[in-house]
A and B are shown apart, each in its own frame.
Chain A
Amino acid sequence: MIAIERLSVSFGAVQALRDVSFRAETGKITAVLGSNGAGKTTLLRTISGLKEPTSGTITFDEHSLVAMKPENIARLGVGHVPEGRGVISEFTVEENLRLGAMMAKVDLATGLDEQYEQFPVLGERRKQHAAKLSGGERQMLAMARALIAKPSLLLLDEPSLGLAPLVTAQLMHTIHDLCASKNLTVILVEQNASTALRISDHAVILHLGRVVANDVKSNIVADENLRQYYLGMVN
Chain B
Amino acid sequence: MDPFLTSRIVSDILTGLTNGVIYGLLALSLVLVWRSTRILNFAQGAMPMLATYVGMVVFAHQLSYWTLVIVSIVAGFAIGGVTERVLVRHLYGKPEINPIVVMVGFLIVLEGVAAAIWSTTPRGTPSPFSPIDWQLNGRPIALSAFSVYEIVTALVVMIGVAALFRFTKLGLQLRASALAPEVSRLLGVRVSRMLTFGWILSTGVGTICTVLVASNFFTGLTPQVMDGIFAFGFIAAAVGGLDSPVGAIVSGVAIGIILQFVGDYVNSNAIMITALIILIISLMVRPNGLFTKSTARRV
Contact = CB atoms under 8 A, between A and B. Distances in A.
A90 B184 CA distance: 14
A204 to B, nearest CB: 22
A102 B189 contact: yes
A27 interface: no
B183 interface: yes
B185 A98 contact: no
Contacts of A100: 187
16 contacts: A48-B186, A69-B185, A70-B185, A71-B190, A74-B187, A74-B188, A86-B182, A88-B176, A88-B179, A88-B183, A95-B172, A99-B189, A102-B187, A102-B189, A145-B187, A149-B187
A102 B188 contact: yes
B173 interface: yes
Interface string A26-60: 00000000000000000000001110000000000
Given A50-B182, A86-B182, A102-B169, A91 B187 contact: no
A75 interface: yes
B294 interface: yes
Contact of A90 (B179, B186, B188, B191): B179
Nearest to B293: A90
| Interface SS of B by simple majority | helix
A90 B172 CA distance: 12
Contacts of A135: none
A82 B176 contact: no
B162 to A, nearest CB: 15
B183 A86 contact: yes
Interface residues of B, number: 18
B77 to A, nearest CB: 23
Interface in A10-35: none
A90 B189 contact: no
B294 A99 contact: no
Given A88-B176, A90-B294, A103-B188, 6 more contacts: A49-B185, A50-B185, A82-B186, A95-B172, A98-B172, A99-B176
Interface string B280-297: 000000000000001000
B180 interface: yes
A75 B185 CA distance: 10
Contacts of B182: 50, 70, 82, 86
B173 A102 contact: yes
Most A C-beta atoms less than 10 A away, residue of B172, B176, B188: B188
B172 A99 contact: yes
A75 B294 contact: no
Nearest to B169: A102
A50 B184 CA distance: 12
A123 B10 CA distance: 50
B188 A75 contact: yes
Across chains A and B, which 4 residue pairs bring their CB atoms closest together, nearest first?
Answer: A74-B188, A86-B183, A70-B185, A103-B188
Nearest to B185: A70
Interface string A80-116: 1010001010110001001110110000000000000
A50 B180 CA distance: 14
Contact of A86 (B175, B186, B188, B191): B186
A99 B186 contact: no
Nearest to A86: B183
B186 A80 contact: yes
Contacts of B190: 71
Contacts of A49: 185
A82 B189 CA distance: 16
A74 B176 CA distance: 16
Nearest to A49: B185
Contacts of B180: 86, 88
A8 to B, nearest CB: 22
Contacts of A95: 172
Contact of A82 (B172, B173, B183, B188): B183
A74 B169 contact: no
B47 to A, nearest CB: 28
Nearest to A104: B188
Interface string B257-299: 0000000000000000000000000000000000000100000
A105 to B, nearest CB: 12
A72 to B, nearest CB: 8
A91 B294 CA distance: 12
A74 B186 contact: yes
A74 B188 CA distance: 5
A103 B172 CA distance: 13
